[in-house]
């Protein structure tokens, strides 16, 4: 066979498309598998990370089709987002045009890899139909109170007059113009993910053993359930007067009530309402006021990595147990969205508090001491211990003290035990153009009202000018001004668009119907296809995307759309593709163009290398010589097919009549088959499967039995079809009439052994190895052993003869 990848691959890609080979059946009585790789953003060209992700998913899909499953393996496009607007600003091209041209390019590139996607279920999330369904969900959420509007702090660029995502803030400045950002309080919409915090945490248990432990831990930490004490620090009289009698104090939450006697200061977030009050009314000198404003200009994520910094506010609160005055500071490490944006600080027993106290020379008051030994110096003591200097609680171990102190606070109405979550409600408002409009309307008479569902989708106007300054929808008067759906009066359309994580939080549900289906879902199809059996994507999506998808699934369940509570049954997080030890990126100049790779070697070579170079969950180091090696192996695989006798059925072979080399070849073939079954269902180490096929090929080449060759290719081409489909379909058509792609049966007879090798030792020293028949008598084994070691025992008296069945023979001689 002349192996011509370009010719073979073009042929089979055309056949698969024309015959709709990979559309799932509508027969819901068949066993199913739903295999999904995270869908791509249409940035313009695919990269090697895409190749790895989709090749892994395609191998699963093709394997399960061979096993007789009804397989759903879809693809789509996560097509809203900032890069399209940036392209509009930089190149003067409309975001929609840029996006859909990129989709067309990338669709062709992915097709060139031979990926077995359903074509009838492909969609882009910027399609009007998808937006209409999504906006209907949002209206339902608004009417159920799951979506609400409130003021919140956002990253604001005063030059570009726009809100920035955290990722767009670079060293405290706008990524585009460098202007220092401000934390601006603005109205935005929030989804009540906090209502689902407990369920999101608890249901992680159902994913144990199915998702990587690292991902489960990351989600658990992000949700951040903690038990503790909430109480109020009351301002002393002078401080209350200084603030104009507007505030009497502020609430704090602590998970360490056992350390409360060690409090030496209290700290507020830079955005705390008391801090803003003091700034507004000029209650701070200009230097301190500017220091606080500088903190406010830094987003919470970046602030967490900066050195500790603070400002003394010149006010005090009263310790709830001792009555002592406690100074109040602003600290950059306190977050406004955790607890109440205020903390009690115990430098002796918290590293963060200690670092801050050391910088500003604040007291360090230890109250927990080791049961044995001395308190360490120069750091916070955060281990278990015994309370001292803690009033009536002194002498208790700190675990018992936590419970006792919380009981005391509740009994004396000083505070209460609470459960707190780090997870806060999801702000979904974005002040930009290329996103799904939030389908709400502002009416002076009716307030905020949803658009009528029959008017959906609320589509984006296309005649906009995108300059990067402000939200184009705000300036599009004919789109912005509308009538109230409730009273018919003049009203204003909401100009915020949705966070693009919304689109990726339910796309997997939409794939369960064809893209021209007129409703969002078909309940029967949802019940049949969900949950996704195998979900494949990068671990960088471990928290936000996966958490939001889990939340959205539960929320749509409660709205009556689906019965699923979890979207993804099994999760595989593939490693990055590296070159020269670094992640491939254009900025590093170390990328490999998949198109050039396919043009030179073919898609099957690219797929084989990707799956052979490393297990899918590990990083993959690019290796040009290994790519060459993958191509050479496929060429040999094609060339040696000439030794196969074409057949429409797998050959029947009398194993007992075969010679040693023929039996060894069959054994290697069936070992590869057993390994394939294990890899697809358990370990997913495709590299070991491919290695097994290579071993089988070498073993086949050591014998000449035509039936063994035909059987070997029947099985090996089926094993390799999920990995290198084009070549295997060509071989299958030429050799087997396309009949060999189905479940392959492992034959136990090939693993039966006729003979075993035994080591022969004399006085404990290994001297020879013999091969004897299975079930051979001890007399015959001893005779063969003595013959093999004759020169060591000749003329010697044998004192003992030991036969260990299946393992060894030991002869003990005199002298």
Mean pLDDT of all residues in 219-230: 94
- Interval 413-431: pLDDT, tens: 999 999 999 898 999 999 8
Mean pLDDT of all residues in 434-444: 97
Q: What percent of the chain has pLDDT above 70?
A: 99
CATH of 753-813, one of 3.30.1330.20, 3.10.20.590, 3.40.50.300, 3.30.530.20: 3.10.20.590
User: What is the residue-wise DSSP string for 22-75?
Assistant: TPPPS-TTS-EEEEEEPPPP--SS--HHHHHHHHHHHHHHHHHHHTT-EEE---
pLDDT at 166 over 70: no
Q: What pLDDT, on a 0 to 100 scale, did the predictor assign at position 167?
A: 60
Cα 16 → chain centroid: 31
Burial level of 759, CB count in 10 A (0-12/13-18/19+)? middle
**What are the structural domain ranges in the chain?**
8-125+501-596, 225-421, 644-750, 753-813
Mean pLDDT of all residues in 273-285: 95
Q: What is the mean pLDDT of the chain?
A: 94
- Interval 173-193: pLDDT, tens: 887 788 888 878 889 999 999
pLDDT at 645 over 80: yes
Residues 276 and 282: beta-carbon distance below 8 Å: no
- Interval 466-523: pLDDT, tens: 888 888 999 999 999 999 999 999 999 999 999 999 999 999 999 999 999 999 999 9
User: What is the residue-wise DSSP string for 442-507?
Assistant: EETTTEEEEPPGGG---PPPS-----SSS-GGGG-HHHHEEE-TTT-SEEEE---EE-TTTGGGTH
pLDDT at 1 over 80: no
Give residue 332's pLDDT band: very low, low, confident or very high (50, 70, 90). Answer: very high
Mean pLDDT of all residues in 622-638: 96
Give residue 751's pLDDT band: very low, low, confident or very high (50, 70, 90). Answer: confident
Helix 5-18 × helix 603-612 angle, to 10°: 90
Per-residue b or e along 517-552, where b marks 16 or more CB atoms closer than 10 Å to that residue's CB: beebbeeebbebbbebbbbbbebebbeebbbbbbbb
**Greater pLDDT, 372 or 170:** 372
Taking the alpha carbons at both ends of the chain, their separation in whole angstroms is: 65
Give the CATH number of domain 8-125+501-596: 3.40.50.620
- CB atoms < 10 A from the CB of 387, how many? 24
Q: What pLDDT, on a 0 to 100 scale, did the predictor assign at position 96?
A: 97
pLDDT at 99 over 70: yes
Q: What pLDDT, on a 0 to 100 scale, did the predictor assign at position 339?
A: 72
User: Which fold is adopted by the domain 225-421?
Assistant: Isoleucyl-tRNA Synthetase; domain 2 (3.90.740)
Q: Is the pTM of this model over 0.95?
A: no
Our separate counts of H helices and E strands in the chain read: 26, 32
- Interval 687-723: pLDDT, tens: 999 999 999 999 999 999 999 999 999 999 999 999 9
Q: Of the candidates 393, 390, 290, which has an alpha carbon nearest to the alpha carbon of residue 348?
A: 390
Q: What percent of the chain has pLDDT above 90?
A: 81
Helix 48-66 × helix 594-601 angle, to 10°: 60
Mean pLDDT of all residues in 101-129: 97
Mean pLDDT of all residues in 216-224: 95
Give the CATH number of domain 644-750: 1.10.730.10
- Interval 585-611: pLDDT, tens: 777 778 899 999 999 999 999 999 999
Are 8-125+501-596 and 644-750 equal in CATH topology?
no
Joined tokens for residue 298: 């830094």
Residues 429 and 435: beta-carbon distance below 8 Å: no
pLDDT at 646 over 90: yes
pLDDT at 681 over 90: no
pLDDT at 171 over 90: no
- Interval 520-534: pLDDT, tens: 999 999 999 999 999
Which ranges of 243-325 does DSSP label H, i.e. alpha helix? 273-280, 286-296, 300-303
Enter the DSSP assignment of 243. T
Q: What pLDDT, on a 0 to 100 scale, did the predictor assign at position 161?
A: 77
Question: What is the rounded distance in angstroms from the CA atom of residue 263 to the CA atom of residue 569?
Answer: 46
Q: Of the candidates 807, 767, 808, 804, which has an alpha carbon nearest to the alpha carbon of residue 788?
A: 767
């Amino acid at each position: 066979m002349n192996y011509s990848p370009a010719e073979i691959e073009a042929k089979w890609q055309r056949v698969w498309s024309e015959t709709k080979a990979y559309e799932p059946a509508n027969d819901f009585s068949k066993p199913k598998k739903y295999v999904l790789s995270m869908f791509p953003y249409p940035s313009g060209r695919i990269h090697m990370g895409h190749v790895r992700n989709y090749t892994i998913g395609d191998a699963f899909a093709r394997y399960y089709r061979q096993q007789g499953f009804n397989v759903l393996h879809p693809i789509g496009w996560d097509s809203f987002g900032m890069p399209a607007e940036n392209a509009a600003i930089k190149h003067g091209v409309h975001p929609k045009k840029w996006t859909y041209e990129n989709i067309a390019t990338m669709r062709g590139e992915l097709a060139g890899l031979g990926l077995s996607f359903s074509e009838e279920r492909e969609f882009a999330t910027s399609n009007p139909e998808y937006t209409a369904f999504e906006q209907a969900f949002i209206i339902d959420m608004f009417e159920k109170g799951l979506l609400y509007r409130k003021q919140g702090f956002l990253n604001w660029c005063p030059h570009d007059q726009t809100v920035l995502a955290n990722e767009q803030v670079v060293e405290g400045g706008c990524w585009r113009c460098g202007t220092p950002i401000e934390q601006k309080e603005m109205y935005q919409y929030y989804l009540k993910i906090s209502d689902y915090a407990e369920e999101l945490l608890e249901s992680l248990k159902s994913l144990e053993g199915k998702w990587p432990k690292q991902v489960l831990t990351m989600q658990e930490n992000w949700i951040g359930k903690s038990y503790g004490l909430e109480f109020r620090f009351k301002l002393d009289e002078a401080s209350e007067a200084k603030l104009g009698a507007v505030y009497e104090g502020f609430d704090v939450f602590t998970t360490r009530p056992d350390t409360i006697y060690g409090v030496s200061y209290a700290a507020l977030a830079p955005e705390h309402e008391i801090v803003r009050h003091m700034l507004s009314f000029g209650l701070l000198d200009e230097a301190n006021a500017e220091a606080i404003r500088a903190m406010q200009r830094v987003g919470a994520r970046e602030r967490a990595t900066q050195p500790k910094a603070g400002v003394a506010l010149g006010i005090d609160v009263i310790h709830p147990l001792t009555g002592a005055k406690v100074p109040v500071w602003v600290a950059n490490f306190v977050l406004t969205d955790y607890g109440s944006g205020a903390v009690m600080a115990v430098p002796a027993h918290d590293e963060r508090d200690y670092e801050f106290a050391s910088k500003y020379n604040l007291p360090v008051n230890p109250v927990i001491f080791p049961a044995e030994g001395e308190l360490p110096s120069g750091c916070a003591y955060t281990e278990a211990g015994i309370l001292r200097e803690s009033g009536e609680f002194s002498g208790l171990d700190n675990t018992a003290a936590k419970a006792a102190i919380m009981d005391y606070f509740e009994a004396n109405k000083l505070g209460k035990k609470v459960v707190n979550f780090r997870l806060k409600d999801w702000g979904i408002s974005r002040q930009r153009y290329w996103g799904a409009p939030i389908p709400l309307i502002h009416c002076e008479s009716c307030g905020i009202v949803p658009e009528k569902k029959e008017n959906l989708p609320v589509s984006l106007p296309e005649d906009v000018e995108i300059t990067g300054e402000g939200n184009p929808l705000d300036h599009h008067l004919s789109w912005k001004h509308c009538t109230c759906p409730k009273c018919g009066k003049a009203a204003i359309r909401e100009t915020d668009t949705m966070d693009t994580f919304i689109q990726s939080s339910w796309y997997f549900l939409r794939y369960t119907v064809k893209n021209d289906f007129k409703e969002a879902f078909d309940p029967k199809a949802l019940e049949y296809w969900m949950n996704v059996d195998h979900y494949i994507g990068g671990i960088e999506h471990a928290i936000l995307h996966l958490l939001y998808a889990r939340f959205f699934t539960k929320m749509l369940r409660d709205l009556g759309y689906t019965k699923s509570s979890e979207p993804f049954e099994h999760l595989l997080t593939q490693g990055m593709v590296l070159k020269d030890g670094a992640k491939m990126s254009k900025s590093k100049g170390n990328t490999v163009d998949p198109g050039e790779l396919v043009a030179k070697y073919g898609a099957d070579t690219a797929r084989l290398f990707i799956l052979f170079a490393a297990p899918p969950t590990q990083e993959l180091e690019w290796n040009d010589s290994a790519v060459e090696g993958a191509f050479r192996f496929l060429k040999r695989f094609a060339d040696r097919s000439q030794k196969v006798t074409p057949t429409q059925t797998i050959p029947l072979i009398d194993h007992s009549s075969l010679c040693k080399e023929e039996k060894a070849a069959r054994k290697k073939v069936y070992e590869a088959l057993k390994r394939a079954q294990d890899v697809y269902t358990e370990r997913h180490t495709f590299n070991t499967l491919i290695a097994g096929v290579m071993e089988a090929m070498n073993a086949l080449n050591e014998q000449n039995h035509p039936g063994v060759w035909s059987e070997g290719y029947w099985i090996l081409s089926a094993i390799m079809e999920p990995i290198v489909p084009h070549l295997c379909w060509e071989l299958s058509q030429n050799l087997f009439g396309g009949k060999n792609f189905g479940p392959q049966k492992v034959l136990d007879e090939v693993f039966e052994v006729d003979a075993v090798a035994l080591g022969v030792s004399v006085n404990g020293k290994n001297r020879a190895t013999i091969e004897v028949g299975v079930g051979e008598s001890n007399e015959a084994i001893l005779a063969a052993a003595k013959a093999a070691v004759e020169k060591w025992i000749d003329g010697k008296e044998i004192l003992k003869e030991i036969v260990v069945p299946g393992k060894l023979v030991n002869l003990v001689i005199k002298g």
